[in-house]
Chains A and B, each alone.
Chain A
């Protein structure tokens, strides 16, 4: 499937999890696109861990504002009611349970809701940035990612990479599936518009519990 379409499916499906009034932190990369699909008439407050609430859309080229960027260093705008604050306040918002939903990517995620997304020892050590605090502090943690990385699976019985946090993931959304993390394990509730349940199982080493009526994503 075309990468652009994959990303669009994921971002649109994640956007369906938004609720009016939610404070939401979107990770760098794929999760950022979720902001493009906020339902009309819904007031969602986007937080960026470098120190603001009220993130607006990206500025037009040539209209960037000095010292106004998101946590990925990309130019942004602010909406009316936006507020800037320092990093201690930013993480009081995050760690203190004032973020309703955080959306971030994963290297690996597992049946226990464990997440690994900050280090591949000996190979890639970017650091955790704000991810550990976000995953621990946000009320709802959504992993949004392509179902496989260059054909290799990412959803396992148990993560083998060092964890970002233990038992914190609530929901996994990929272009192929919506999977809830439950006390009994991973519950497959929806499949993507371009694949079957069997495709999901074939690309998921973790054990999947099949919901009674698995739906096709409505996007």
Chain B
């Protein structure tokens, strides 16, 4: 039996008030719903959530917002979840909106040991406010700083018992990047298979990034 496979209750016990959590997924596709639901049931507070979007109402990442568990969210889009907008307007939560490509690169640089990235995206807009502009060979770029988290929760399609991950279709999105950028990485596996049964050429996230594996109960 792999030491990495744990119950969802054990996974959730690692999540504490005030933590920063990266959540994989794009409008719910590729979001680890089993783990999200269990965290909501536990009911932690003051989380900082890093995710592409804030989902749809009381589903996926949206559940953290809907259940008042969030202090701050760093995301590219909140338009599909009016509750996020409402809480932002009422100053109940802080929302940092980040261009989607910048969000991906900030997480990637956090996982890759870089001091940030230089991007042209956001120049001449309010995204550039308060940020350093750096000129390289006559071209201007914004310095965007790395992001890391205490915990990343991911969804994998097929995961071997050592934690090697493959993804399905468009459920990949932010998952492989987030796997590199958190102190503890928990993957929700739709299928768990014997180590060695995934062709090494097809592994997307190498097992060294993965701390824990949880079986998925979700059939969406």
Contacts and interface: CB of A to CB of B under 8 A. Distances in A.
Contacts, number: 143
A126 B175 contact: no
| Among A69, A94, A128: residue with most chain B CB under 10 A | A128
Given A65-B169, A73-B26, A86-B172, 19 more contacts: A51-B170, A66-B168, A67-B171, A69-B29, A72-B27, A87-B104, A88-B108, A88-B177, A95-B121, A125-B85, A127-B77, A127-B79, A128-B76, A128-B77, A132-B99, A133-B101, A133-B102, A137-B101, A166-B123
Given A88-B108, A136-B121, A165-B124, A130 B76 contact: yes
A85 interface: yes
B146 interface: no
Contact of B124 (A84, A91, A163): A163
Given A73-B28, A128-B100, A136-B120, A87 B77 contact: no
B169 A84 contact: yes
A121 to B, nearest CB: 9
Contacts of A126: 77-79
A207 B149 CA distance: 49
Interface residues of A, number: 40
Interface string B71-115: 000011111100001001000000101011111110110000000
Contact of B26 (A66, A71, A94, A163): A71
Contacts of B119: 95
Contacts of B177: 86-88
A163 B124 CA distance: 8
Interface of A: 48-52, 65-73, 84-88, 90-91, 94-95, 125-133, 136-137, 162-167
A128 B170 CA distance: 20
Interface in B7-56: 26-30, 52-53
B208 interface: no
Interface in B160-187: 167-177
B127 interface: yes
Given A67-B29, A133-B121, A91 B101 contact: yes
A95 B99 CA distance: 11
A66 to B, nearest CB: 7
Contacts of B53: 127, 129
A91 B204 CA distance: 18
B1 interface: no
A195 to B, nearest CB: 32
